[in-house]
Chain A
Amino acid sequence: DTAVSQTPKYLVTQMGNDKSIKCEQNLGHDTMYWYKQDSKKFLKIMFSYNNKELIINETVPNRFSPKSPDKAHLNLHINSLELGDSAVYFCASSQVHSAGQETQYFGPGTRLLVL
C-alpha cells in the first residue's frame, strides 16, 4: 500500500563507485522529484520529471543522472561517488494541473554513506 517507495533504504559504498536508487509511486501521479537532504537536514530539489520529461535540473553535478522509464518510476544514478554525496535522498510525486500545486508525497528516503 506504500504510496512512494524507494530502494534501497540504506546504501554504504566506497568513493568512486557507481550506484542507483530506485523510486516508484502507485498514486497515478504525473510528476516525480528527487530531493537531497544534507547532514544539517537542509532539503534541496535536484530534479523534477513531468510525464517522463525533465522539467527541473538544478545545479547538480552531471555525475547525477535521473531516468524515468515510465510515469510511475524515477530512478537516480550516481557515477563516481564522492564523500560529499553522502546524504539522504528523497523521492516525491505529485499531480500537476492548471489549478495549481497539489501535495507532494515523499518516500521514506535512501540514506547514502560514501566512505
Chain B
Amino acid sequence: AQSVTQLGSHVSVSEGALVLLRCNYSSSVPPYLFWYVQYPNQGLQLLLKYTTGATLVKGINGFEAEFKKSETSFHLTKPSAHMSDAAEYFCAVSGGGADGLTFGKGTHLIIQP
C-alpha cells in the first residue's frame, strides 16, 4: 500500500523567490514518484517523474525534484517563481504496473507580485 503526505495545503512565495513544495511518501515496494500540476478548471499535467536511476529529476517549466529514499521524500523545487506557476500541485506515488496513482491532498501555490 502507498500513501503520500504533502505538507502545507497552501504555499505563498514572492515572484522570483525559491519555490519548495514538500512531499513524503510511504510505499511497501520501490516507488514510482510523480509531480503533477493542475491549473484552474483543467486536467493534470505531468511536471516530472522518478522511476529509477538518477535521484535528481528535472522537469518542465524549470522544476526539479530529488528522490531521497532515506527520508522517503520527493520535494519539488524551482529556483525562481513566476506568476504563471500559480496552480495546484499534486505529488503521487505508484507501485508500478497497472496500479493507479495514489495522490497527496495537493498544495495550492500562490505567487505574490
Contacts and interface: CB of A to CB of B under 8 A. Distances in A.
B99 A42 contact: no
Contacts of A55: 98
Contacts of B97: 96, 101
Interface string B83-97: 000001010001111
A88 B107 CA distance: 18
A55 B34 CA distance: 21
Interface in B25-82: 32, 34, 36, 38, 42-46, 49, 51-52
Interface stretch (A12-20, A43-51, A70-78): A43-51
Contacts of B90: 43
Given A41-B106, A90-B43, A90-B44, A101 B100 contact: no
A44 B95 CA distance: 15
Contact of B32 (A35, A101, A108): A101
A42 B106 contact: yes
Instruction: Give chain B's interface residue range (CB within 8 Å of chain A).
Output: 20 to 34
B32 A100 contact: yes
Given A55-B98, A96-B97, A106-B36, 5 more contacts: A41-B38, A43-B44, A50-B98, A56-B100, A90-B43
Interface of B: 32, 34, 36, 38, 42-46, 49, 51-52, 88, 90, 94-103, 105-106
Interface of A: 4, 31, 33, 35, 40-45, 48, 50, 55-56, 58, 90, 92, 96, 100-101, 103-109
22 contacts: A4-B43, A35-B101, A41-B38, A41-B88, A41-B106, A42-B103, A43-B90, A43-B101, A43-B103, A43-B106, A44-B103, A56-B99, A100-B51, A101-B51, A101-B95, A101-B96, A101-B97, A101-B99, A103-B49, A105-B46, A108-B43, A109-B42
